Amino acid sequence: MNFQDIIFYVFSAILIVSALGVVTSRNPVYSALLLVLSFITCAGLWLLLEAEFLAITLVLVYVGAVMVLFLFVVMMLDINLARLREGFWRWFPVGGIIALVIVAEIALIMTGSYFSLEEMPVPEPKGADYSNTKELGRLLYTEYVYAFELAAVLLLVAMVAAIALTLRHRDDKKSLDIAKQVSVKKDERLRIVSMPAEKKD
């Protein structure tokens, strides 16, 4: 066992424990934080595979942006734990079936002929000047450009839809016009009055 193997096993252990913690923790804030931990350890595992761009993007996008908003929401919600656990056994069969389907899918992929360990060996280590980022960029913008653009449009549509769904027009809404505020002249606001000094009688 060399140094890389030790790192792999340590990271995997942390990943599994924290992922278990996400679903078993009673406090939703703990769950979200453990999810952050599992993202970071996962990024560490990807670094071992020399996928540095994906690893850093995982941290940047999921840890740096998505989970921050997640935590934001979870912390603001007033979650009643007793109410949350009420229907556990009622919904257990549904959840169980979904879990079974996921396990079956993973098993299919792991044991299938396309993705088995023999078919997908550890990639050959690349030289120091090999840039994962450059290669990914080249592929994304040449061979997979249509898929990439489609995904971008899809995200844009989702974004516009989310804003359109939550945007409500109100008649009594107050808003500022910054341009108007900035272009105000002194004469419009200020009136200088000349008056004689008042004497105290």
Partner 1 sequence: MEAIQQLFEQLFGTEWGIMLFTFAKNLTLILAIIVPLLLGVAYLTFAERKIIAYMQIRVGPNRVTFFGIPWLRGWGQPIADAVKALMKEIVVPTGANKYLFILAPILTIMPALAAWAVVPFSPELVLADINAGLLYILAMTSMGIYGVIIAGWASNSKYAFLGAMRSAAQVVSYELAMGFALVCVLMMSQSLNLGDIVTGQQGGSMLNWYLIPLFPMFLVYFISGVAETNRAPFDVAEGESEIVAGFHVDYSGMAFTVFFLAEYANMILVATLTALMFLGGWLPPVDITPFNMIPGFLWLLIKIAFLLFFFLWFRATFPRYRYDQIMRLGWKVFIPITLIWIVVLGLIMQLPESVRNDFPFNLWF
- Name the site residues for partner 1 (rule: CB under 8 A): 2-3, 29, 33, 36, 52-53, 56-57, 59-60, 63-65, 68-69, 71-72, 75-76, 131-133, 176, 178
Q: Which is nearer to partner 1, 19 or 136 (CB)?
A: 136
Q: Which is nearer to partner 1, 64 or 112 (CB)?
A: 64
- Retrieve residue 28's tokens: 């939703």
Listing DSSP states for 71-105 in one string gives HHHHHHS---HHHHTTTHHHHHHHHHHHHHHHHHH
Q: CB under 8 Å, gap of 24 or more: what pairs does 127-131 form?
A: none
Give me the least distance between CB of 80 and partner 1, in Å please: 17
Give me the least distance between CB of 2 and partner 1, in Å please: 7
Give me the least distance between CB of 201 and partner 1, in Å please: 42
Q: Which is nearer to partner 1, 135 or 143 (CB)?
A: 135
Q: Which is nearer to partner 1, 108 or 145 (CB)?
A: 145
Q: How far apart are CA 4 and CA 172, in angstroms?
A: 63
Q: How far apart are CA 117 and CA 113, in angstroms?
A: 9
Give me the least distance between CB of 75 and partner 1, in Å please: 5
Contacts of 48 (CB under 8 A, 6+ apart): 4, 7, 8, 11
